[in-house]
Amino acid sequence: MSMELKLVDLLQGRGAKVFPLTAPENEPYPLIVYQIISTLVIRAHEDPVMDRNRVQVSVWSEKYEVCVALAGSIRSDLDRNKTDFKLSLLDGMFDTPDPEPGLYRRVLDFLIWHQEGV
C-alpha cells in the first residue's frame, strides 16, 4: 500500500471528510486536507533505500475546540511512529486565521519515512 493510501486510511474515521490538496466548495465542516510538500529519496550506493515525505495536514472547523480536538487526535496517531511507516514525526504545528469569520484551521507538519517498492 502506498504512503498516501496509508495516510488517508489513518486520517479517516474521525467524523471529518478527508481530501487531497483542497476541499470542494460548500463541503460541510469539519474536514481534513492533506498535501505532500516534498519527497526526499534516501539512497545507498545510488539505489533508493526509502523516501522521506514532508506532509502537511490541515484541520478545518467552524468550532475552535473541534479543530483542536481533531488535530490532537491526528497528532496522537501519527507522531513518533504509532503507525506502520518506518518513522513518522511531528515537525511543527500552528493555527492560521481564515478570512471567513467563524472558520478555524490548525496545520500539522509531519516527516514520514517509508519504503515503497524499494
Taking alpha carbons only, the member of 7, 102, 17, 9 closest to residue 56 is 7
Q: What is the pLDDT of residue 99?
A: 78
Sign of CA dihedral 89, 70, 73, 25: negative
Count of domains forming the chain:
1
Alpha helices in the chain (DSSP H): 3-11, 64-78
Say if residue 110 is exposed, middle or buried (CB neighbours under 10 Å; 0-12, 13-18, 19+). Answer: buried
Boundaries of domain holding 100: 3-114
pLDDT digits (tens, 9 = 90+) for 38-85: 988 887 776 767 889 999 999 999 999 999 999 999 999 988 866 778
CATH code at position 79: 3.30.2000.10
The share of the chain scoring above pLDDT 70, in percent, equals 92
The residue-averaged pLDDT of 99-111 equals: 91
